[in-house]
């Protein structure tokens, strides 16, 4: 039989191996190979101990197998994303080298090991299902139920008692596996499977919360829990747990409501997304990642009046108050929505002290600097673009279509100087990002800086750069909109219309949401200027469908 000392040493060794693989992210293929070898050895060990051991020994071996599968799934998922990302970056990085381009063409659908993204996807899903199968078996169930989590029986069996270490570990492993599984299904567009796995996670959260509340109430009233002693330490711990999340067991595990919100976005049901995000914000008012998503969902559902309320709750709950970087970032997003560009810039700039927010804050600031009044390109210039590269931007190359009316009329010369200052500021801000985590957006905004200069050579250069981006991402809404905007400024409206018509029927998606809306509005504007108002109506209705704050855009455009 397996000795206790041997079991503990085995557990420590495998834990160390998993941590080592997690720390060395640059050797993904080697890590996958090592973990697969370890998994094969663990499978043999598990098969052996099941015939000669009982109880905790078998339980521990199942937990080890579940952990190995969960870590493997994480690496497979990372590789799946890297292969997809390489399709977009490979051509760009090897554009000047014909041999490199041919090499990329041969491998663009596969990673270093020759596996395609679909292969990694299949491997990840298989590993996650095996994780769930192991913890389900640990819970005493022979088969996995597609309608409910496998470890839910562990919670119901204890009747409000305290969970053991192995029970807690099994429940957390299943929760993490469900999160990863739902995220993969969402990424590949399998919304039905995503919803199924997310609902199982929600069941697990609800059952855990109910179990914890029952345990806490028994401790509080002095009622004995079978097999438990109600110590003061247990009382303090249980009451602390009952006031927050279901239990600290799920700390760091993405909640089901967060995934459901993403799922509702994919279904373009923004009202439902708001409800799920409000659940998280109510428990964690200073979760600024969730708060920023809630602000966007409230904007799209047309509930702007709720945004100041959730912002005020966050400020009161945050020890830093209105000096908090996260609060300032979200406040900046709100000011941007309401058209208060100066206040938005101030708040976003203050949020940059947080390294995690710096890059995203800069991108928002760049967009405001380039287009503070939320305007669309137009070819209404009388004299055309500047022929040189250093002239002031032509201030009537943009048509005002902001959702909010602007106060006062600026002097033309002042407007030109402000536009030039904005472009220079945007250019400087982008230079501050030396190693962007979102190179796609950085490249797009760099091209928009050239476009907004209203200098013919620079607009032409921007058009060429968008054409290069189109080779990597031919269906990108941002790239097509950018190219169309260049054509408008170059007074080639027919070419702009042809570009934009490619996006007229493209399904709405989160990644290109802002640029798709701009593209639909620009095409509608072109139709209106040419007297084809009937063609513009469907486009304007689509804008309203995905962003109800666009309601005033229709009135201002007409």
Q: What's the pLDDT score for residue 401? A: 42
Confidence of residue 98 (pLDDT cuts 50, 70, 90): very low
pLDDT of residue 403: 40
For residue 23, what pLDDT is reported?
Answer: 67
Domain residue ranges of the chain, discontinuous segments joined by +: 4-83+116-254, 268-353, 375-557
> Which pLDDT score, from 0 to 100, does residue 396 have?
43
pLDDT > 90: percent of the chain: 48
pLDDT at 397 over 60: no
Say what the pLDDT of residue 94 is: 45
pLDDT of residue 253: 92
For residues 199 and 99, the model is more confident at 199
At residue 110, the 3 state secondary structure works out as strand
Rounded to 10 deg, the angle between the 56-93 and 98-107 helix axes is 140
The pairing of strands 398-400 and 375-377 is: antiparallel
CATH topology of domain 268-353: 1.25.40
Mean pLDDT of 502-523: 91
pLDDT at residue 167, as a whole number:
85
Average of per-residue pLDDT across 368-388: 74
- Number of neighbours of residue 41 by Cβ within 10 angstroms: 12
CA angle 219, 223, 229 (to 5 degrees): 65
pLDDT tens readout for residues 406-438: 444 445 556 677 888 999 999 999 999 989 999
Buried residues in 172-207 as b, exposed as e (16+ CB within 10 A): bbbbbbbbbbbbbbbbeeeeebbbbbbbbbbbbbeb
Write the pLDDT tens digit of every residue in 162-205: 778 888 889 999 999 999 999 999 999 999 999 999 999 999 99
Q: What 3-state DSSP class applies to 116?
A: strand
Tell me what pLDDT residue 359 has: 96
Grade residue 158 by pLDDT with cuts at 50, 70 and 90. low
Residue predicted with more confidence, 227 or 445: 445
Q: State the Cα–Cα distance between residues 277 and 275, nearest whole angstrom.
A: 6
Query: Residue 48's pLDDT band (boundaries 50, 70, 90)?
Result: confident
- Residue 55's pLDDT band, with cuts at 50, 70 and 90, is confident
**How sure is the predictor about 132, in pLDDT bands with cuts at 50, 70 and 90?**
very high
Q: What is the pLDDT of residue 218?
A: 61
DSSP classification of residue 375: E
**pLDDT value at position 51?**
76
Question: First CA to last CA across the chain, in angstroms?
Answer: 82
Measured between alpha carbons, how far is 238 from 158 in angstroms, rounded to an integer?
A: 15
The pLDDT, as a whole number, for residue 172 is 92
Within this chain, domains 268-353 and 375-557 share the same CATH topology: yes
Q: How confident is the model at residue 99 (pLDDT cuts 50, 70, 90)?
A: very low
How sure is the predictor about 36, in pLDDT bands with cuts at 50, 70 and 90? Answer: confident
Arithmetic mean of pLDDT, 89-108: 42
User: pLDDT tens digit string along 254-297?
Assistant: 999 999 999 999 999 999 999 999 999 999 999 999 999 999 99
Report the pLDDT averaged over residues 554-558.
44
Which of 74-83, 84-93, 228-237, 536-545 has the largest mean confidence? Answer: 536-545
User: What value does the mean pLDDT take over residues 535-542?
Assistant: 90
Q: What's the pLDDT band for 50 if we cut at 50, 70, 90? A: confident
Whether the per-residue pLDDT at 349 is higher than 90: the answer is yes
Residue 413 confidence (pLDDT): 58
How many alpha carbons lie under 13 Å from residue 342 in its C-beta half-sphere? 2
Q: What is the pLDDT of residues 477-499, one digit of tens each?
A: 999 999 999 999 999 999 999 99
Q: Which class does domain 375-557 fall in?
A: mainly alpha
């Amino acid at each position: 039989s397996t000795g206790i000392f041997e079991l503990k040493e085995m557990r420590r060794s495998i834990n160390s191996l998993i941590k080592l693989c997690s720390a060395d992210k640059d050797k993904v293929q080697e890590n996958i190979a090592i973990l697969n070898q370890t998994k094969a050895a663990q499978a043999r060990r598990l098969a052996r101990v099941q015939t000669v051991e009982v109880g905790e020994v078998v339980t521990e071996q199942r937990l080890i197998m579940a952990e190995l599968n969960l870590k493997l799934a994480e690496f497979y998922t990372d590789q799946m994303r890297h292969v997809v990302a390489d399709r977009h970056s490979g051509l760009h990085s090897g554009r000047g080298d014909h041999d490199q381009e041919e090499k990329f063409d041969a491998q663009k659908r596969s990673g270093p090991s020759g596996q395609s993204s679909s292969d990694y996807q299949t491997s990840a899903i298989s590993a996650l299902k095996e994780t769930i199968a192991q913890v389900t078996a640990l819970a005493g169930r022979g088969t996995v139920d597609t309608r409910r989590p496998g470890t839910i029986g562990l919670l119901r069996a204890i009747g409000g008692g305290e969970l053991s270490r192995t029970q807690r570990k099994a429940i957390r492993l299943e929760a993490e596996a469900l999160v990863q599984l739902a995220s993969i299904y969402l990424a590949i567009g399998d919304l039905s499977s995503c919803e199924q796995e997310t609902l199982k996670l929600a069941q697990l959260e609800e059952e855990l919360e109910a179990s914890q509340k029952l345990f806490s109430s028994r401790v509080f009233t002095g009622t004995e829990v079978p097999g438990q002693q109600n110590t003061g330490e247990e009382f303090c711990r249980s009451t602390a747990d009952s006031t927050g999340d279901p239990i600290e067991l799920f700390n760091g595990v993405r909640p089901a409501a967060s995934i459901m919100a993403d799922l509702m976005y994919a279904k373009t049901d923004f009202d439902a997304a708001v409800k799920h995000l409000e659940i998280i914000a109510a428990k964690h008012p200073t979760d600024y990642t969730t708060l920023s998503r809630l602000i966007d969902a409230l904007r799209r559902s047309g509930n702007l009046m709720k945004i100041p309320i959730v912002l005020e709750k966050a400020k009161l709950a945050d020890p830093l108050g209105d000096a908090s970087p996260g609060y300032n970032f979200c406040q900046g997003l709100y000011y941007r929505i309401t058209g208060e560009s100066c206040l938005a810039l101030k708040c976003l700039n203050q949020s940059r002290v947080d390294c995690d927010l710096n890059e995203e804050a800069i991108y928002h600031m760049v967009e405001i600097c380039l287009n503070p009044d939320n305007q669309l390109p137009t070819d209404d210039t009388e004299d055309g673009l500047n022929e040189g590269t250093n002239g002031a931007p032509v201030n009537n190359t943009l048509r005002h279509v902001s959702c909010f009316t602007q106060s006062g009329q600026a002097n033309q010369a002042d407007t030109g100087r402000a536009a030039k200052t904005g472009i220079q500021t945007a250019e400087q801000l982008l230079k501050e990002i030396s190693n962007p985590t979102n190179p796609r957006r950085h490249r797009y905004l760099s091209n928009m800086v050239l476009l907004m200069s209203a200098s013919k050579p620079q607009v032409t250069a921007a058009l060429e750069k968008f054409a290069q981006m189109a080779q990597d991402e031919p269906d990108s809404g941002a790239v097509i909109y950018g190219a169309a905007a260049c054509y408008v400024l170059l007074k080639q409206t027919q070419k702009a219309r042809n570009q934009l018509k490619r996006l007229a029927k493209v399904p709405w998606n989160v990644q290109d949401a802002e640029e798709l809306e701009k593209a639909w509005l620009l095409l509608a504007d072109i139709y209106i200027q040419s007297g084809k108002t009937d063609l513009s109506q469907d486009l304007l209705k689509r804008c309203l469908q995905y962003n109800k704050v666009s309601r005033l855009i229709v009135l201002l455009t007409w």
